[in-house]
Amino acid sequence: MGLLVLLGLFAIFVTIGLPVAFALGMAAIAAFWFEGLPLMIGFQRIVSGINVFSLMAIPFFIFAGELMFHGGIAMRLVRFASAAVGAVRGGLGIVNVFSSMLFGGISGSAVADISALGSILVPVMKEKGYDADYAVNVTVTSSLAGIIIPPSHNMIIFAIAAGGGISISNLFLAGIAPGILMCLCLATAAYIVAVRRGYRAEPFPGLSPLLASFIGAIPGLFTAIIIVGGVLSGVFTVTESGAFGAIYAFLVTVLVYRSMTFEKFRIAVIQAVRTTAMVMILIACAGAFAYMLTFYRVPDKTVMLLTGLTENPILILLMINAALLVLGMIMDMAALILICTPIFLPVASSLGMDPLQFGVMLLVNLGLGLCTPPVGSCLFVGCAVGKLPMEVAVRTIWPFYIAIFAALMMITFIPAISLTLPRLIGL
């Protein structure tokens, strides 16, 4: 009965439009009250949910992404990507994917990726004769690179939700190859759709413009090298690397590119504070909610339920993926990471799946939910940037869904994709 109170109230609160963070916290406190547990424990769990040192890296990553977005780094990455791969048939679609891989690996945010690159590439693609739905669909789906390719604050959230026993450095390493694989699948889909629609290729600009665009992009690319390389080399902790990355991004945009104005800096600060506040409130309230899930032995019961249905590990993993896909369509990603990790990670571990591989699988799966209605924040932002009705985009986005799903299945059933780098360089 207590579990019904917890989940039922949460579902009701979300249905009536209450923010997910408050729905999690209020449902958890109600369950504490129903079980006769001291409410003080509930509030202690909320506070302890964000009393984790590694969480301090999240605001730094978010702030660094905002600085790069408003400071002109995205534009220089697009120029380099266009010079490198723009000459392929339907090249601007592949440029879009390649740019997302570069910028996503720096900003660590799918929404920032769409906001920064979409506002640049979508109008250009329209001018070059690409259909609006194609431009929006490529931009929306390729933005998931920001979730997988490090640094990613979602990876930090997963590590915390998993109990803090997972190395964030190894998790960063585990996301590199899957992120590149997903981008290759999306680039293939972009090329096939471009050929079917008859889009033409852009002329190759020549080696000199390619080299010039690469040199112009180097200072921005070094942001990712400093953040990820500092962590992997042991020079920085994750939190220190985030702080140094934010400082470096500020210095590059002010002193090197000289594109950061006071007004842009003010906007970057405001957006970073807003995003950080939302993420931290969500993590805090999810701490109490996860405590009650453990109190009701939901993870253990889930393991028993799934293994009771079948002992085939392939079918169990497919069921987990199916559940995550459905949940990802109706709930926010950060909330689902915090809720689903303590439930499904024990199931995956019982099948012999490494937590690093499970983490990457979880992020790719829930990332797909960001591109699907009815609660796809990336889809909403992409359609807004492209000034395209969402129903029009959804009708033609399915080849890109297939590409992401193909990458997801390979990540799920081929451990080497996620685990080779952590095993070779593991820290």
CB atoms inside a 10 Å sphere around CB 7 = 17
% of the chain surpassing 90 pLDDT: 14
Q: Looking at the predicted structure, is the pLDDT value of residue 116 above 70?
A: no
231 close to 108: Cβ distance less than 8 angstroms = no
pLDDT at 47: 79
Read off the pLDDT band of 109 (50, 70, 90).
low
Q: Looking at the predicted structure, is the pLDDT value of residue 296 above 60?
A: yes
Read off the pLDDT band of 416 (50, 70, 90).
very high
State the maximum Cα–Cα separation within the chain, in Å, rounded to a whole number. 72
pLDDT at 155: 87
Mean pLDDT is lowest, of 20-34, 109-123, 142-156, 197-211, for 109-123
Each residue's pLDDT tens digit, 63-104: 887 787 777 777 787 778 777 766 677 677 887 788 777 776
% of the chain surpassing 70 pLDDT: 93
Each residue's pLDDT tens digit, 162-200: 877 788 888 888 999 999 999 999 999 998 998 888 887
The domains of the chain are located at 2-425
pLDDT at 94: 82
Range among 115-119, 388-392, 414-418 with highest mean pLDDT value: 414-418
Please give the structure tokens belonging to residue 55. Answer: 């969480």
pLDDT at 355: 93
Q: Which residue has the higher pLDDT, 427 or 238?
A: 238
Each residue's pLDDT tens digit, 350-404: 888 999 999 999 999 988 888 887 667 778 778 877 788 878 888 888 999 999 9
pLDDT at 401: 92
Each residue's pLDDT tens digit, 146-163: 788 887 788 888 988 887
Q: Decide: pTM greater than 0.75.
A: yes
341 close to 161: Cβ distance less than 8 angstroms = yes
Mean pLDDT is lowest, of 137-146, 166-175, 325-334, for 325-334
pLDDT at 426: 61
113 close to 376: Cβ distance less than 8 angstroms = no
Q: Round the average pLDDT of the chain to a whole number and report it.
A: 82
Task: Indicate the residue type of 419.
Answer: L
349 close to 355: Cβ distance less than 8 angstroms = yes
- Which of 398, 287, 359 has its CA nearest to residue 47? 287
Read off the pLDDT band of 411 (50, 70, 90).
very high
Range among 21-25, 26-30, 47-51 with highest mean pLDDT value: 26-30
Each residue's pLDDT tens digit, 237-252: 777 887 888 888 888 8
SS (H, E, C) the chain: CHHHHHHHHHHHHHHCCCCHHHHHHHHHHHHHHHCCCCHHHHHHHHHHHCCCHHHHHHHHHHHHHHHHHHCCHHHHHHHHHHHHHCCCCCHHHHHHHHHHHHHHHHHCCHHHHHHHHHHHHHHHHHHCCCCHHHHHHHHHHHCCHHHHCCCCHHHHHHHHHCCCCCCHHHHHHHHHHHHHHHHHHHHHHHHHHHHHHCCCCCCCCCHHHHHHHHHHHHHHHHHHHHHHHHHHHCCCCHHHHHHHHHHHHHHHHHHHCCCCCHHHHHHHHHHHHHHHHHHHHHHHHHHHHHHHHHHCCHHHHHHHHHHHHCCCHHHHHHHHHHHHHHHHCCCCHHHHHHHHHHHHHHHHHHCCCCHHHHHHHHHHHHHHHCCCCCCCHHHHHHHHHHCCCHHHHHHHCHHHHHHHHHHHHHHHHCHHHHHHHHHHHCC
Range among 112-126, 287-301, 385-399, 405-419 with highest mean pLDDT value: 405-419
Read off the pLDDT band of 106 (50, 70, 90).
low
Q: Looking at the predicted structure, is the pLDDT value of residue 105 above 70?
A: no
